[in-house]
Structure 1
Amino acid sequence: MGTWPDDGIARDGIRLRRWRAEDAEQRFAIHDTESMRWSPPMGPRGLDAQRERIEKALAAEPGSEPLSLAVVDDADPARVLGDIDVRPGPPPPFSVRDVGYAVLPAARGRGIGSTALRLHTEWLLDPDGGDVLRVQLDHAVEHVASCRTALRAGFGIEGRRARFLPLQESPDAPVVHHDVCLHGRVRD
């Protein structure tokens, strides 16, 4: 496995880099009502929770594969546009990463998500990068924009998992389990 570059990786005006302590408010802004609608309720979501997530990411060993990345404007790396998260995958001998992504509301519809996802996936699949054989993701079947993002990033549709994803329309609404669309990319 390769080492994550200190300055991150970049392409087409997008840079993926480690989070910084000063990014907390921008990270919080990514997760607006629309974004949260498609994310499972997994604990606190406020600004303090985002600060804690960044602190945890900063505590990771330097050079190790980041489990959470800031998607930033390459010309202005202090300007956060989105995030990419890697969920802990199955243990060896499996060689899989499960990813998720979100884009700041003002940056949506410009291909930022698919560019960031493609860039990160190519690093993960590269023997000199993350050195995994498979990257996968899923999203609620109703989340058409997420499906388009995955397809543009080269992820094929592999199937559907029934009633898998717990979602809430709002914090006071009941949890409803949605079907998910499964996507994957494998090393050539």
Structure 2
Amino acid sequence: MPHADIRPTSHPHPHPDLHGHGLRLRPWDPDSEADAAIWFRGRSDPEFRRWNTPLSIGSDPDSALESLRDTARSTREGTSVSYCVTDASTGTPFGHIGVNVIDWVMRSARVGYWVLPEARGRRVATHALSLVTRWALAEPGLGLYRLELGHAVGHESSCRIAERCGFRYEGTLRGAMWEAGRQDAYRDVHLHARLASDPDPAPHQD
């Protein structure tokens, strides 16, 4: 199987921390109550809920911790890689970014992220996506060929982030995600993607 050598085996998070733009992307700690609190706060934030409807939010610290452990399990199984985005100097958490639904045969995956309210407006998502993209499409790294980024139509900030990081707009997927707060109604998604063979985007300013 292509790139089977980077599939996780025994270490709970076999991938490196990523550094740049004043950020450190570190693994989430699946046994940390503090990380679980950050995870719950980010995914229950009204702005997150406006644009996303995850299968499960969790309504208390215990369920948030279990959700975080599920995320860590996916990393161990090789189907995703998830990072807590933090300030490189202080370690203050800013949000999350993940490489999800990894297909090792096609060398493709989807990226997703969220930023805590107090960290918005500082290009945290742009810089984190830039770091993850460079690593995921590189050797050494995940060695993927294609990364997809999808967001609900109307989420203009995600469009701008995708474009800054070299993710080209490829089209609209009809009814490809749930409406906010519902699992019985659907909305359209803008699909962006970047290939390992695409040229690097122009540097963005801090």
Q: TM-score, normalised by structure 2?
A: 0.78
Shift of 1:55: 2.5
SS at match of 1:56: helix
**Is residue 135–residue 186 contact of structure 1 (8 Å, CA) maintained in 2?**
yes
Bigger relative contact order (CA 8 A; separation at least 6): 1
Name the CA distance, whole Å, in 1 between partners of 2:157 and 2:24.
21
Q: Distance in 2 between matches of 1:41 and 1:81?
A: 20
Residue of structure 1 in register with 2:125 after alignment: 113
> Structure 1, residues 122-141: CA drift from partner, whole Å, max 9, x if none?
10000110100011110011
Do the aligned partners of 1:4 and 1:66 also contact (CA within 8 Å) in 2? Answer: no
Q: Aligned to 1:74, which of 88, 94, 119? A: 88
2:99 corresponds in structure 1 to 86
C-alpha contact 2:99 2:111 (8 A) present in aligned 1? yes
Partner of 2:195: 186
Q: Distance in 1 between matches of 2:54 and 2:148?
A: 21
Residues 1:4 and 2:18 aligned together = no
**Cα 1:65–1:122 shift into 2, 3 Å:** farther
Unaligned runs of 5+ residues in structure 1 are none
Structure 1 stretches of 4+ with a deviation exceeding 4 A read: 57-61
Is 1:56 the equivalent of 2:67? no
Contact conserved, 1:18 with 1:66, CA < 8 A, in 2? no
Residue 125 of structure 1: aligned partner: 137
Equivalent position amino acid for 1:50 in 2:
A
Q: What CA distance in whole angstroms lies between the structure 1 residues aligned with 2:154 and 2:160?
A: 12
Could you list the runs of 5+ residues in structure 2 that have no partner in the other structure? 7-13, 198-206
Equivalent AA in structure 1 for residue 103 of structure 2: P
Question: What whole-Å deviation, never above 9, does each CA across 1:102-139 have from its counterpart, x for those lacking one?
Answer: 00011111100010011001100001101000111100
Give the deviation of 1:39 after TM superposition.
1.0
- 3-state SS of the aligned residue for 1:183? strand
Whichever residue aligns with residue 138 of structure 1, its letter is G
Partner of 2:11: none
